[in-house]
């Protein structure tokens, strides 16, 4: 296994939650498990393809869990893993900061 070198630790964080969608997805999952279609509704700008892709990456980075109910029609639920939970504080603060910025806009 190759050990990646980072000049500064935030790079390791950005590798996991960086990009256009990941923090947003995680922010929605903060409130509990969600189905694929619920995520889609909550983030109308994202396409299925992108959502699938981002969820796969988050899963393989160990940030979220994926539960598949083997039924027809299929049902898949996503939720924060323990590692994902450890991001909660950051996500909360990012949300709070954004809220503040929106309200203080002139």
Partner DNA sequence: CAGGATCCTTTCTGATACTG
Partner DNA sequence: CAGTATCAGAAAGGATCCTG
Interface with DNA, residue 52, by CB under 7 A: yes
Interface with its own copies, residue 7, by CB under 8 A: yes
- Report the candidate in 79, 94, 77 with the shortest Cα–Cα distance to residue 13: 94
The listed partner (its own copies, DNA, none) that binds 31, CB under 5 to 8 Å by sort, is: none
Site for its own copies in 24-53 (CB under 8 A): 24, 27-28, 42-44
- Report the candidate in 95, 92, 22 with the shortest Cα–Cα distance to residue 64: 22
Label residue 32 left, alpha or beta by phi (over 0 means left) and psi (-120 to 50 means alpha).
left
Site for DNA in 65-94 (CB under 7 A): 72-76
The structure tokens listed for 53 are 């892709």
The listed partner (DNA, its own copies, none) that binds 48, CB under 5 to 8 Å by sort, is: DNA
> Could you give the CA distance from residue 91 to residue 23 in angstroms, rounded to a whole number?
7
List interacting residues with its own copies (CB under 8 A). 1, 3, 6-14, 16, 18, 20, 23-24, 27-28, 42-44, 86-87, 89-91, 93-102, 105-106
């Amino acid at each position: 296994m190759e050990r990646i070198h980072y000049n500064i630790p935030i790079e390791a964080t950005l590798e996991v939650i960086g990009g256009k969608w990941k923090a947003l997805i995680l922010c929605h999952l903060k409130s509990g498990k969600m189905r694929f279609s619920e995520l889609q509704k909550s983030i109308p700008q994202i396409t299925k393809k992108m959502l699938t892709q981002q969820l796969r990456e988050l899963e393989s980075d160990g940030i979220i869990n994926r539960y598949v109910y083997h039924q027809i029609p299929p049902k898949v639920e996503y939720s924060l893993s323990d590692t994902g939970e450890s991001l909660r504080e950051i996500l909360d603060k990012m949300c709070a900061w954004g809220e503040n910025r929106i309200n203080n806009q002139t």
